[in-house]
Structure 1
């Protein structure tokens, strides 16, 4: 745990992984994210203050995977009677196929794309987010993602990711035991080993980005265009 396992590979990222286990993994992500990722608090603190009932706030979810977070955010906004338009992008065709196959939700769209594709198209969004993406990236890739997400966001960019620690590894090892028939437990433990510490992220993040504590085992990398209360 002292050093990041940068060369470790998650099974679900392999092109020849078991498709049935991969589909179960996408389905189980919804449970894992709801229980552990803390997006309800992030929605209330970071997103809800930006929303209005009159005009739509636009949000880009980079690396949206199976699409559960994009759908969840749209549903929360709808329950609050606020307008939110969410675009989820993922370069993996398998993730895109799963997300696009979900029942249609008003205000949610999925694309198979990289953030660089959207920049070339001249697109921008009020908010850009990612969830559990940073640990997949090597330092140069992470810095590129930050630059692209900053360029795509008009108001703020939020990257929520794991924080490497022995306690996180030990607790997730036990908590993930019920998730059978998928890659959740094995890949989750690999993800923790691959994740960055706050000090490591601080060295990589360019000026204007802040690392904020989010939960005992998560950290938030934030860029706010309009200031701390944006």
Structure 2
């Protein structure tokens, strides 16, 4: 798939569509995409850094039951990682991965079980309305899928889902020419082997075109929310609940 000229990345391409979001996409390719998310995310998503910064410092809350919500869990690799990292650090967490897409939850539930991890086909609104609360609410590569109304709804739901003193961290790509070029070059050698028969490469490039910059997000966020920039080409939209 041929990507856009790098100069065109100066403007977000909100009309671009990822292949795996098509309800009629190839189910075998979709399953291979979910299966490879963990490998790709380990290199591009900063999940370990996010865990160390936002979750591990809250291990003191484990005596009351530390709860973490992963919004838009996809194939379910992040909840599994978070639970294993917490166990290695000597504390237990309950990690709930939610996704409105039945295909994603079906795949996630077929993963080998990990203590403290469960998956549910649900939306943030559904969880908030039934009174669910979490110490940490996270998402990874969700924001660029949303239009303005959906983004506002997610942020509002996230505030309702956070326990007093909790934190919400929505991590995503930050659109940049260098991020696009780096992902294109880094995945090129694997397109005919490791990434063959899945949507990782074309959809990854589309995701970058759809993603925001910190400068674009900052002025549209509600009061109390902030944007943090990270490496490589990462951003985090953060809200801290009052204690």
Q: TM-score, normalised by structure 2?
A: 0.91
1:107 is aligned to 2:123: no
Cα deviation digits, residues 143-187 of structure 1 (max 9, x gap): 110111111012100000000011111110111221221100000
1:23 to 17, 27, 31: 31
Whole-angstrom distance in 1 between the partners of 2:198 and 2:12: 24
Correspondence list, 1:188-227, <5 A: 188-226=204-242
Cα deviation digits, residues 50-89 of structure 1 (max 9, x gap): 0135342101100000000010000000111101100000
1:134 to 143, 152, 176: 143
1:160 to 171, 174, 181: 171
1:93 is aligned to 2:109: no
SS of residue paired to 1:51: helix
Cα deviation digits, residues 108-151 of structure 1 (max 9, x gap): 01000100110111111111000000000011111110111111
Residues 44 and 232 in structure 2, CA contact (< 8 A), matched pair in contact too: no
How far off is 1:216 after superposition? 3.2
Whole-angstrom distance in 1 between the partners of 2:41 and 2:83: 15
2:76 to 26, 43, 67: 67
1:37 to 37, 40, 45: 45
Whole-angstrom distance in 1 between the partners of 2:157 and 2:222: 12
SS of residue paired to 1:219: strand
Whole-angstrom distance in 1 between the partners of 2:129 and 2:236: 27
1:47 is aligned to 2:55: yes
Whole-angstrom distance in 1 between the partners of 2:183 and 2:36: 15
How far off is 1:46 after superposition? 1.2
Whole-angstrom distance in 1 between the partners of 2:239 and 2:87: 26
Paired residues, what number?
Answer: 227
User: Which ranges of 4 or more aligned residues in structure 1 deviate by more than 4 Å?
Assistant: none
How far off is 1:226 after superposition? 4.4
Q: TM-score, normalised by structure 1?
A: 0.96
Specify the alignment match of 2:66 in structure 1.
Answer: 57
Residues 143 and 204 in structure 1, CA contact (< 8 A), matched pair in contact too: no
How far off is 1:198 after superposition? 0.7
2:11 to 3, 17, 20: 3
1:174 to 157, 161, 185: 185
